[in-house]
Amino acid sequence: MYRIYKMARSKQYNEEEVIEKAMGLFWRNGYENTSVRMLEKEMGINQFSIYSSFGSKNGVFLECIKSYKKKMHRITEILEKSNNGVIGIKQYFYDFLEFSKDDNGKKGCLVTNTVNELGAHGDPIIMTELKNFFNEIKALFANNLRQDKNKDLATVEKQANYLGASMLGLSLASKILSRKQLEDYIETAFTNL
């Protein structure tokens, strides 16, 4: 690329850093209940900068989803590299509880929260992004299930569906239920796999 003329002022903020902060806000409050005014406060930059960097509130959110996935990689990686079948999946359920725990709150899963909030009305780009995310996790479950050679293909498929839905349940339940209830849930959910 040619430099047409001159360089000028550079951005006084790091886009990755401010997205990280925005993500926290969306995570706690949901999409609609997070206003652009709240975003500029949390991100520490004003609306001009937000719109110049990310185009729209939607644009900010999409970047937040990317950042969320990257953040989640900390626990999905463990699952991905695990070689112990169902045990590894169960560990992932517990890892998620730690992951979603806030200082003083229960935030659940940003992706699940958003699907539940926006449903069919949501921006289609966001919605596909979210569905892909779910399928990726389900694929990881299927991978681990296949490590048990006793399970035939139909069983793997059925149990992957089961675990995917259970994970959705955990995301929601983690926002509402007590630690004991959540442990009862996970322990019972894995008794017969």
Partner DNA sequence: TTTATAACTAAGCAATCGCTTAGTAATGGG
Partner DNA sequence: CCCATTACTAAGCGATTGCTTAGTTATAAA
The percent of the chain in helix, strand and coil, each rounded to the nearest 5, is 75, 0, 25
The residue among 119, 163, 106 whose CA lies nearest residue 139 is 163
Cβ neighbour number for residue 88 with a 10 Å cutoff? 21
144 interacts with a copy of itself by CB under 8 A: no
Residues 42-101 that bind DNA (CB under 7 A): 45-49, 51-52, 56-58
Number of residues lying near a copy of itself (CB under 8 A):
44
CB of 147 to a copy of itself, least distance (A): 18
44: left (phi over 0), alpha (psi -120 to 50) or beta: left
Token readout for 68 is 């969320």
User: Which residue of 16, 77, 136, 184 would you call a contact of a copy of itself, by CB under 8 A?
Assistant: 184
- Contacted by 114, from DNA, a copy of itself, none: CB < 5 to 8 Å by type: none
14/188 with CB nearer DNA: 14
Cβ neighbour number for residue 40 with a 10 Å cutoff? 17
145 interacts with a copy of itself by CB under 8 A: no
Taking the alpha carbons at both ends of the chain, their separation in whole angstroms is: 57
What is the three-class DSSP state of 106? strand
67/159 with CB nearer a copy of itself: 159
Q: Which residues bind a copy of itself (CB under 8 A)?
A: 29-30, 32-33, 105, 108, 112-113, 115-117, 119-121, 134, 157-159, 161-162, 164-166, 168-173, 175-177, 180-182, 184-185, 187-193
Q: Which residues bind DNA (CB under 7 A)?
A: 3-13, 32, 34-38, 45-49, 51-52, 56-58
